[in-house]
Amino acid sequence: MLIGGAVAAVGGGGLLAREELERLWWKVPGMAKPRKEGELDHAGAEWTAASTANWRLADRPDDFEIDRVIIHVVQGSYPTALRVFKNPGHGAATHYVVRKDGHVAQMIRELDVAFHAGNRSFNERSIGIEHEGFVDRPQDFTDAMYKGSARLTADICVRHGLPVDREHIIGHVEVPGTDHTDPGPHWDWDRYLKLVRAAMPSARRAAE
């Protein structure tokens, strides 16, 4: 009813912008992209679903173009991140969580909008990656974590056509309006981007 009514309203002079209607097309029954429960976007990840209260159904990039990867730090452990993202009262979750040993959990499909950035526009346009640890403990950012996360980000960049640079791979602290400071001063951006670039050839081969 909402979709049909909105289309009619636009035809008669318009209550909604055409761009907004184009973003809503997938809500029409039968129009959503096929998806299977537990299906992975990143090969090698472990699927463990976030609460549906912490994200919303979408059909990206058809309704919202993906142009950012946002790097987060949990301020806690890997099990803590999984637990709170499964909690419907938490109100937030990222698409991925990376453990200190480099293991990756996927909690939300990249098709969908995760509530992770604290900014609606950035939620709609980005993929969020959480990392186990604390911003004030550089020892938490292990070699294995950097490498596992870099392989994940390289895979995302290949699939969504993103350049490997600091405009398209950003920290949570850089999201407009946020009050978060992660990934913090000990996150080695030069090292991380170098690892992402090194992982790009294998990510491209996997996508072919």
- In this structure, what token pair is assigned to residue 108? 């939300």
Residue with tokens 């419907």: 88
Where do the structural domains in the chain lie, given as residue ranges?
Answer: 1-31, 38-207
Give residues with Cβ within 8 angstroms of 201, minimum separation 6.
none
Q: Which tens digit of pLDDT belongs to each residue from 133-152?
A: 999 999 999 999 999 999 99
Phi/psi of residue 129, nearest 5 degrees: -125, 120
Q: Average pLDDT of the chain?
A: 88
CB 50 within 8 A of CB 86: yes
pTM: 0.85
Local confidence band at 19 (pLDDT 50, 70, 90 cut-offs): low
3-state secondary structure of 99: coil
Quickly name the fold that domain 38-207 has.
Lysozyme-like (3.40.80)
Taking the CB of residue 15, how many other CB atoms lie within 10 A of it? 11
C-beta of residue 97 within 8 angstroms of C-beta of residue 78 = yes
pLDDT at 1: 32
- Segment 156-190, tens digit of pLDDT: 999 999 999 999 999 999 999 999 999 999 999 99
